[in-house]
Amino acid sequence: MHHFHYKEDQLFCEDVPVAEVAREVGTPLYLYSHATLRQHFLAFDRAFSGVRHLTCFSMKSNSNMAILRLFALLGGGVDIVSGGELYRALKAGVKPDRIVYSGVGKGEADLEYALSTGILMFNVESSQEIVRLNQVAKRIGRRARLSIRVNPDVDPKTHPYISTGLKENKFGIDISDALDQYRMASGLKGLDAVGVSCHIGSQLTQVEPFVDALRKLKGLIRALGDEGIRVDFLDLGGGLGITYENEAPPHPEEYARAVQAELGATDLTLIFEPGRVIAGNAGILVTKVLYTKATREKTFFVVDAAMNDLMRPCLYDSFHAIQPVRPRGREKVKADVVGPICESGDFLAREREVERLDPGDLIAVMSAGAYGFSMSSTYNSRPRACEVMVKEDRYYTIRKREGFEDLIRGESIPDFLTEDLDRGE
């Protein structure tokens, strides 16, 4: 359930008219519902209330500090993939011992930064990373807690670009090689092997791939026990999907029942890294129609949001529902909703049946709370959108809109190129 609904012939977020926010802060803008974020986090977290667990929000899906702070106050942690994400999480008040560090290419400086803050553990993804982490830990006089991210070669039945658990993917260590890597890690003085981790992909709409992966992980954990290597954490990653169009993903409670049925009684602490399932349907992208354009072949609605604001449609050919902020009961037309960027791939929807729109009309691009702003850029020197959170009948700007001056911050022109500038030419 989300808190975007029509009332009095206009779209509301909780108790605030979307058009009112757009009028006062401008477009394009990302708009999030506090109640939906809270409800989705608790629905996932409480589904596992019968076992020891930690819900670590996958902050690559949405890294706004206000959202991270909300989840921290609800007892959650975060899954990070960079030193920058660690910095954000700490500034938002996430406790270090509730942070897990994933990612295939952690730099040495980031490893040292994370070690110095005392994060819960590193999900390591290669033998060279194990060696590097040990070297960094010994140099700064710390012991690094790690789990090895295992690649179980399970087909997640999702888009190829967000599949991460097959042999051909760059992530993790092949499960057939994992035991040897644990033996190596256990022999290094700067490391403590404390867990096993796995993440097979994103936007999964079936429970079976999760269960298949867990079944393989159980075998590895038994083999580790036979070797005298005891692990305390089992990180099952994230990946649970949401409804964008016609998908019917399992509810977190169904997922939890399947995991607990397969795992049985355990002393392990389970770690989960949900992102999209919490944030996806908690946010929308609001954009204004600039122009309408009809050719002999197609109708286009040109809006002020673009692929730099929401990359998913052009990157994955993803579906996002398009809804008018103020429905007027007009005829439906088949049209492309496109942005101002100079790329043919700059679209938010193609061949979509939508209500006929006029310049100045507002539309909501639904299910944009995950991998929306966090994947945005300043391509074509377009300042990034603002982010707003609604709580009940009030709204709060949680990231101000960028301006032109933000686009060139940090840039400089060297002296040998400034002569004409100095003369005013």
CA–CA separation, 45 vs 39, rounded Å?
Answer: 10
Contact 305, 365 (CB under 8 A): yes
What is the full DSSP assignment across 194-257? EEEE---BSSB--SHHHHHHHHHHHHHHHHHHHTT----EEE----B---SSS--PPPHHHHHH
Say which of 13, 56, 198, 342 is annotated catalytic. Answer: 342
386 is catalytic: no
Within a 10 A sphere around the Cβ of 215, how many other Cβ atoms? 13
Contact 402, 384 (CB under 8 A): yes
Contact 309, 339 (CB under 8 A): yes
Contact 200, 140 (CB under 8 A): no
Contact 287, 322 (CB under 8 A): no
Pair of tokens at residue 420: 């004409």
Strand pairing category for 347-355 and 332-338? antiparallel
Distance of CA 412 to the CA centre of its chain: 33
Residues annotated as catalytic (active site), given as ranges = 342
